[in-house]
Every structure is written in C-alpha cells, then in structure tokens.
Amino acid sequence: MVQSPVGGKPKTAEEYAQSALEHVWIHSANWQELATQKGMKVFDHGKGALLYDVDGKEYIDGIAGLWVVNAGHGRAEIGQAMAEQAAKVAYVSAANYTTVPAVALAETIAEILPGDLNRLFFCSGGSEAVESAMKIAKQVQVMRGFPKRYKIIARRGSYHGMTYGAMSLTSARNETYFGPFMHGVYHVQSPNNYRPQFPGLSGEADDIACANAFEAEIEYQGPETVAAIIAEPVSTANGVQVPSKAYWQRLREICDKHGVLLIADEVINGWGRSGKYFTIEHYDVVPDMVTMAKGLSSGYAPVAGVAVRDSVFEGFKEKGDVALGHLLTFGGQSVACVAALANIDIFKRENLVQQSADKGEYLKKQLEELLVHPTIGQVRGLGLMCGLEVVKNKETKEKFGKDSKFMKRVSELFDDKGLLTRAWDTIHFAPPFVITTEEIDRMVTIVDESLTTAEKEFASEIGQ
C-alpha cells in the first residue's frame, strides 16, 4: 500500500494505476495505449537521477522529466523554502504589484544572463514564455513606429510550445485538429549536421546558408512587416542539432541589419543543460529576448519568464503612460519564485553547470561507443543534452520513424530495463546534472543491450 498525499486513503499500485486511467488526462498518450499496456506508471518518489514507481521499481530518469529536473529529484531544501514562503505570502496580483521573492529572482537571473538582458517578465511555463515573447516583440515594434511589423519567422523542425501562438511557431503542429494557425508565421531551414539542408554544402557552410534563409524570408516578406525571429540555440526537437558559432552570429547580423528582434528560446536549453547557464553563451551572441522555464526551478514549481535587453524595454520608459498589453495571473507567484531561487542556490553551491559540462562530455564519449550498431547514424550533443540518431540504413540515412515497430520495441525494452527517455527518430539523453558516472554507464548499457535485442528481432529491415 502507498499512502496518498495529505492524509488520503492508502492505495495499492494497481488501484493507483486504475484511478489514474479513469481520472487523469495524460497529456500526450492515447487512452487505448494506456489502457492496454502492462500498467500505467505512477511514480511515488525520487532521489537524484532515480525515480521509483508505486511498485518500488527503480528507473534512471534519462531525460530529467522533460529536460526539467536539472538539480535532481528529492531536493527537500527547495520544498522547505517553498513552505516557509507560503506561510508568509503566496500571492499578490502581478498586474500592479510584485513581491520580495519576485524582485530577488529577477535580480539574480539578470546577474547570470549575458549582456544587458536585465528585465524579466514572469509567467508559469515555456509555452506562456513564448507567447509573451511574441506579444512583447509585436508591441515593441509598433511603439518603435513600425505598425506593420507583426510577422514571426521560426524554423522547420522547431518546437516552441503547445498554446495556440506557440504551436503556430512549432513546425510539427497538428493541422488536423487545430488549424488554421496564427497568421503571419513562416518557417525556414534549420541547421542539421547529419542531413545538410543545401545541396553541396555541409558543416559551417550549410549552417550559414540556413541563417541566410532567414534573411531571404525577411526580404521576401518585406522587412517592414517582420517583428522577430525565434530559434532554439540547440534544437532538441530537431534531434539535438548543435549549430556552429557562425550560425548564431550571422543571425545577430541579419536581425540588426533589418531591425528584427532576435528571440532565443531557452526553455529546454537553459539553466545549465548545455554546460553553461544559457546555451546562447556558447555562441558569443546576446539576443534581444530569452525565454526560459523548465530548469529554472528544476520542476519544483511552475515558473518561467522572458528576459529582455534594455533596448527592448526602453520604449516603455520613454512612453511612460503605455503598459504592455499582456497579463498572466500567476506571473511571479512568490512560492514559485522562491523555488527557483533555492534551485539556483543549489546550482551555485554544487557547481551543477560545470557538472553538466563534465558529465556531458563523459556521456557523449560513452554514447560514441554505440556507433558500432547498424542503427546508430550519429551522436550529437552539448553538455547533458545528447542524442543518438537512429536509422534503418546508414548509407541512405533512412529513418525508422518514431511510430515504427522498431522504435516502439526499443522504448519497451528501455522501460523493462529501467530507463526513462524519449526514443523517437532520436534517442534523447538529458538526465539530472547529479547523475553519477556509474548511472551514466548503466544508462548506456541499457541502450546498448536494448538496441542489440531489437536489431536481432528486426534484422530483415535493417540496412535495406
């Protein structure tokens, strides 16, 4: 029996699974799949890089929830800080006021961010952060005297969230259920080291061509109509694609030339995941805005934000009677801000960002040993943000596809052996920064064994 929270009636593992099936809407799984699997996972507790379900089975959290739990599970000190703040004051309206924790968090983040990214607009999650950044960009352009600048350009293969505007930027969006999407959104090529986007080019040359595609689209649309471009510094959604430094520096040049705002979406990338606090730091570029969420509190509370440069906020100072036409009820909620502050304190005290860099380098070397598999085409990554490109044929680079029987079998084997991660066209590795080298070795061994088993079962399809 497992005790329910806040004095609820204890339940068996089976009772929890059945209750979840009947009452919890699991966000990205279909009901039939959940109802027919061995049993819905209901987790009870975690510690470090490990999670334990209500049956007591141990799993390595190979993707930190969803690139979220950077500081690791079971951080009692974060919960204690939240409880103390809740006893003082949990909420005041973000429309007209702020709190001591929100001020402290904004100041702390501003000190960490590169350049003059000094002002924070707080919200609750990554999609809200992206929505906020879009609205800020559009209003700023109007206030600068460009009322026709409303268009946003993103990248193919991108992921920026699931609220309506954010999904409009996400190229892998569901047209069947939710289209048509927000007017004025366009997509261009995204850097792909494994599959170059322009014939005859590769490496940095292909990256620069992808950057120039933004300029071509800006000029085609008309610079006077484009408000901003948005991109992840490292595109996890596109298979953990790590562009060259020249790519981001070219984007900065293009935006400066055409008066377009540059938004770096660090919702997944940020807070140490790449071995620096913010992945954009690898490129020696200061964007106009940075979105953040996930690792900001390591998942202990829903908190997110948009950081903007002084130049972006300047118009609101000059036109002192104009406010941003945007409001989110839980922006800067004080308990969530305290969770983020306690999380950042752990980052500093335990040097977690450097741990991400060092352990990420170790993980990548271990993953490179898996290139002997006929289904692994490439290893990519930066810090504890790595991926294995899975292919049916190394010569043609043909994919299995995330919904293929092969990938579903690989995922099933991971689950059986106690590894939680996302195995789609790319197998993702993004564990908490506190993962040990022994746990990294165990994680890679599980992948090695699972691939070997699946490759034997699907031998007739591989290399064809």
* Cis preceding linkage at 180, omega within 30: yes
- Name the percent of the chain in helix, strand, coil, to the closest 5: 45, 15, 40
Beta-carbon count within 10 A of 422 CB = 18
CATH for 41-74+352-461 is 3.90.1150.10
In Å, how far from its chain's centre is CA 77? 25
pLDDT of residue 402: 84
Ranges assigned E (strand) in 277-435: 289-292, 304-309, 376-381, 386-390, 419-420, 426-429
- Comparing C-alpha atoms, which of 146, 144, 154 is closest to residue 313? 144
Which phi and psi (to 5°) does residue 319 adopt? -100, 75
pLDDT of residue 140: 98
**Which of the 8 DSSP states describes residue 37?**
S
pLDDT of residue 128: 98
pLDDT of residue 38: 56
pLDDT of residue 368: 98
pLDDT of residue 464: 63
Q: Which residues contact 173 (CB under 8 A, 6 or more apart)?
A: 167, 179, 181
On whether the CB atoms of residues 104 and 94 are closer than 8 A, the answer is no
Q: CATH number of the domain at 77-350, out of 3.40.640.10, 3.10.450.350, 3.40.50.720, 3.30.50.10?
A: 3.40.640.10
pLDDT of residue 10: 80
pLDDT of residue 37: 61
- Comparing C-alpha atoms, which of 326, 280, 329 is closest to residue 302? 329
- Domain ranges for the chain: 41-74+352-461, 77-350
**This prediction's pTM:** 0.96
DSSP codes of every residue in 267-285: TTTTTTTTSSSSGGGGGT-
In Å, how far from its chain's centre is CA 165? 17
CA dist list (Å): 416 to 370, 411, 439, 446:
20, 9, 16, 10
CA dist list (Å): 293 to 122, 283, 359:
10, 21, 22
Residues of the chain with pLDDT under 50: none
